[in-house]
A = this chain, B = another copy of it.
């Protein structure tokens, strides 16, 4: 029975799983769980993942959620996966694990919190929380600085001095990609100082093309819509002198 991947491409860990499967030629069926339509809350999906979150997978009778656990499982259970994604060497594997552990309370918390509270909240019908955005920004900037100065400090194109990407590279780059949704000024202010991070993102895109861009297409389209909306709002403001309200739905 074919592997099933339950995902919404608007979710960054969903994107990481989909890219991983495509790059490694894993035969799978993508089942779209549309978060904006609250499909993750359905009893059917809850039977797959009691936490009601994407991504989740079903492989035969085996159900699994949490994106890092899924990446490790796929890299271990599917024989066609190239060694560099999750090397068998115990020390190398442990260091990849340390990056993945670090990710949760640092880059994920910072990036997701900042994007939610500066861009996404109104699209989800939630209020923007300036204090939460400011706190998330601190965590995000500290996380980017950590990636630049600690995880990317060695030679090599990838984290931990790697010359080929690991599951940690894919997971973290997909997390950072959501910063594309910020307005250009915020994006450049936040990512601009981190030259190694920028180079590493490019390397990861190159190593996973064309799948990286195909899976991120939904993000690029949303970015375009946000930019168009912003410029029409600016026009409106310039004409009327008042701010147009932000639409509360995607």
Contact = CB atoms under 8 A, between A and B. Distances in A.
A77 B64 contact: no
Interface-central residue, A62, A68, A90, by most chain B CB under 10 Å: A90
Contacts of A77: 90-91, 94
A66 B168 CA distance: 15
Contact of A66 (B76, B98, B109): B98
A73 B90 contact: yes
A173 B100 CA distance: 21
A101 B150 contact: no
A50 interface: yes
Main secondary structure of the interface of A (DSSP, over half): helix
A69 interface: yes
Interface-central residue, A50, A65, A97, by most chain B CB under 10 Å: A97
Contacts of A50: 150
A73 B67 CA distance: 20
B62 A101 contact: no
Nearest to A96: B69
Interface in A93-151: 93-95, 97-98, 100-102, 104-105, 108-109, 146, 150
Contacts of A97: 66, 68-69, 72-73
Contact of A73 (B64, B94, B104): B94
B104 A101 contact: yes
Contacts of A98: 64-66, 69
B68 A101 contact: yes
A206 B76 CA distance: 33
A90 B66 contact: no
Interface in A67-83: 67-70, 72-73, 76-77
A69 B101 contact: yes
A61 to B, nearest CB: 10
Nearest to A109: B105
Contacts of A66: 97-98, 101-102
22 contacts: A50-B150, A51-B146, A64-B91, A66-B101, A66-B102, A67-B101, A68-B101, A69-B94, A69-B95, A69-B97, A69-B100, A70-B94, A72-B93, A72-B94, A72-B97, A73-B91, A73-B94, A76-B93, A77-B94, A104-B104, A104-B105, A105-B109
